[in-house]
Amino acid sequence: MTVLLRGAQVISWVDADGVERLYCSPTSPLKGPQAVRGGVPVIFPQFSERGSLKRHGFARTREWTLLPSDMAAAHPSVALQLHNAVGDDPLWPHACVCTLTVSLLPQGLRMALTVANTGSSTFPFHAALHTYLAVGDVTQAVLTGVLPGGAALPLRDPIDQIFEAVAGPLQLQCPLGSLQLAHTGFRDVVVWNPGPDVVLADLPTGAYREFVCVEPAAVGDAVVLAPAAHWEGVTVISYNRALSTPDR
C-alpha cells in the first residue's frame, strides 16, 4: 500500500495475491500542482462544482500530516490528518479536522474518513472517496447493488452518475476478479468512467478500459455538522481471487 501525504491519497494497494487493485494514471504527476488521477482522492468539502470552491474541494491537493502509528490497532493502519482554520480558504471559512485512516485487512482494504467541527458555527459539506478500481477491461465489468431490485449495471458504456440512498453492499465483477464494496456513513454512490471519446491530459489513450470509479459519497444532500460534532464515513473493499482461465 502506498499513500501520499499530499491529499492523503492512496495510490496503490496490492492484494495478497500480488494483484494491484487500484488504478493510477502513469502520466499524472504525483507532486502536483493538479490532483493525482487515480488511487483514492479524498473529496472534501465540495463535490464536483457544487459550490464556490475549486472542483472537488481542497482536501485532495493539500498536505496532510502523518499521525503516530497505533500499535494497538487490530490491523496494519496508516492515519493522516488535515487541519483547516477559518482563514485558510476565504471561500470556506470553517474550522475542522479531517482524519483518514487506511487499514489493511486479511482480504481487503478499509478506509475511514472522519470530519470534526472544531469551530463555533455549523457548516455543510460533501465528502467522497473517489476510488479508481482496477478492472482489467471495463467493457467486461458489471456492478450490482446500485440499481433497484438487484439489477446488474453493465459498465461497457461511459457513465457519470450519482446513485442516491444506496445501502449496499455492492458487487463488482470484472476480469481481475470479484470485489465487494460495503460502506457506512456515506449515503450515496458515484460511478464514473469517461469512455473512449473523452480526452484527459493526464490519462493515456485507451486507459479508460483499465478502471472504473465506484465511490462511496455523501453528495445527494450535504452533511450538516454542528460545532463540536463529528461525522464518519467508512468503506471496505473485499476481494476474491482473480478469475481463472480454463485450459484449452
Residue 243, pLDDT score: 46
Q: For 175-219, what is each residue's pLDDT tens digit?
A: 999 999 999 999 999 999 999 999 999 999 999 999 999 999 999
Q: Which amino acid is at 65?
A: T
What are the structural domains, with CATH classification, of the chain? 2-239 (2.70.98.10)
Residue 75, pLDDT score: 84
Residue 48, pLDDT score: 87
**pTM reported for the whole predicted model:** 0.92
Spatial CA neighbour of 120 closest among 94, 98, 97: 94
Q: Which amino acid is at 115?
A: V
Question: Following DSSP, what letter does each residue of 220-236 receive, concatenated?
Answer: EEEEEE-TT-EEEEEEE
Q: Which amino acid is at 125?
A: F
Q: Which three cell numbers stand for residue 94?
A: 470553517
Residue 247, pLDDT score: 40
Residue 241, pLDDT score: 54
Q: Judge whether 36 and 210 are in contact, CB under 8 Å.
A: no
Residue 64, pLDDT score: 97
Gap between the Cα atoms of 124 and 10, Å rounded: 25
Q: Specify whether the backbone of 162 is left (phi greater than 0), alpha (psi in -120 to 50) or beta.
A: beta
- How many whole angstroms from its chain centre is CA 184? 13
Low-confidence residues of the chain: pLDDT under 50:
242-248
